[in-house]
Chain A
């Protein structure tokens, strides 16, 4: 435990030293995020789905608990599944486990962040600032790129690729 905390603190320190703002690949201790994207929305569309990859480079399991953004009234974590041809979406209240040494991908056809009650439509090229809250790592800020509504994955070559 002690060494983990020290490691986490060292990680945060290093991350802070490295660069003040890394728009795409954000790290908070052992937790880093990449490929954060969402789709542009229609004028009266009040929700949007967000996707990203979360990596836990630490030796301790972590958990994404909640998310928030000033751009939407509420943010939820959802799962989507296909059951015999029927689409089922459910709220994941217990959050998402991010096991030590593993990456968890939130992508179409699986898990997503749901922005509910958009303050204004998401426009192509915008960045949506989101704060993810983890059980151990605490708050992690990440900007979601607003991509075309026709996107089915994060745009290649658009990110830092750290």
Chain B
């Protein structure tokens, strides 16, 4: 009995040692792996960020059929807004607001471009958005693109877009598009200057525009 007990005791001790060893090795491996991943993550992230600055590069088709790119916009600050012509509330309100803000800036009002990008190429042809944008009584660069081009510019600006049916019971019926409704202000070098929120006070929006063109 005593022998057996001793055997069991030493066996347990051996198993314990082994377990500690396994745990130790696992911890070490984990740490190496973790640090390795961490390092790898940093390495992978850095060039990606450098290669894709906020906004560009992008390419779209203007309402007159010409090409609009981040490069063709460079040299002048611009305010860019994403929407669609079948959006009955936020889109006309925002474009009307931009037109009004431009007017309130007086002589400085023409120191920046207004860009309207339709994220609904299925229903908004370039010429349609041109006719729509013209109604706001101020020069607006209206553009749209292929799904791939729009995916690229949306990624660049971090614009959320989700198409969904107006009536959930009719998935193939009429649809609406949830979308980011902020106005991105980009400086003459294509860098983000500020964002005008939908609910923002007029004076704040004017200050942001003055900062953009100043």
Which residues on A are within 8 Å of B, measured CB to CB?
39-40, 42-49, 76, 78, 80, 82, 85-91, 93, 108-109, 112, 114, 116, 149-152
Set of chain A residues within 8 Å of B88, measured between Cβ atoms: 39, 47-49, 78, 89, 112, 114
Residues in B114-138 with C-beta less than 8 Å from chain A: 123, 125, 127-128, 131-132, 134-137
Measured CB to CB, the closest approach of chain A to B158, in angstroms, equals: 10
Q: What are the 4 A-B residue pairs with the smallest beta carbon separation, nearest first? A: A49-B88, A42-B132, A150-B96, A87-B181
- From the candidates B86, B92, B160, B198, name the one contacting A46 in the complex (CB within 8 A): B86
Most buried by A among B127, B132, B137: B132
Most buried by B among A40, A76, A89, A93: A89
CB of B85 closer than 8 Å to a CB of A = yes
- 10 A-B pairs within 8 Å (CB atoms) are namely A42-B132, A45-B128, A85-B180, A86-B179, A86-B180, A87-B90, A89-B176, A90-B166, A90-B176, A114-B88
Most buried by B among A76, A78, A85: A85
- From the candidates B86, B93, B127, B160, name the one contacting A86 in the complex (CB within 8 A): B160
Measured CB to CB, the closest approach of chain B to A35, in angstroms, equals: 16
A-B contact count (CB 8 A): 93
Measured CB to CB, the closest approach of chain A to B54, in angstroms, equals: 15
Are B131 and A43 in contact, CB atoms less than 8 angstroms apart?
yes
Which residues on B are within 8 Å of A, measured CB to CB?
85-90, 92-93, 95-97, 99-100, 123, 125, 127-128, 131-132, 134-137, 160, 166-167, 174, 176, 178-182, 197-199
Distance, CA A109 to CA B90, complexed state (A): 7
Are A47 and B86 in contact, CB atoms less than 8 angstroms apart?
yes
Are B178 and A76 in contact, CB atoms less than 8 angstroms apart?
no
Are A80 and B90 in contact, CB atoms less than 8 angstroms apart?
yes
Set of chain B residues within 8 Å of A87, measured between Cβ atoms: 87, 89-90, 178-181, 198
Are B179 and A91 in contact, CB atoms less than 8 angstroms apart?
no
Distance, CA A109 to CA B97, complexed state (A): 13
Known interface pairs A85-B198, A87-B179. Does A150 touch B131 (Cβ–Cβ under 8 Å)? Answer: no
Set of chain B residues within 8 Å of A88, measured between Cβ atoms: 178
Set of chain A residues within 8 Å of B137, measured between Cβ atoms: 150
Are A45 and B99 in contact, CB atoms less than 8 angstroms apart?
no
Known interface pairs A76-B166, A89-B176. Does A150 touch B100 (Cβ–Cβ under 8 Å)? Answer: yes
Are B199 and A45 in contact, CB atoms less than 8 angstroms apart?
no
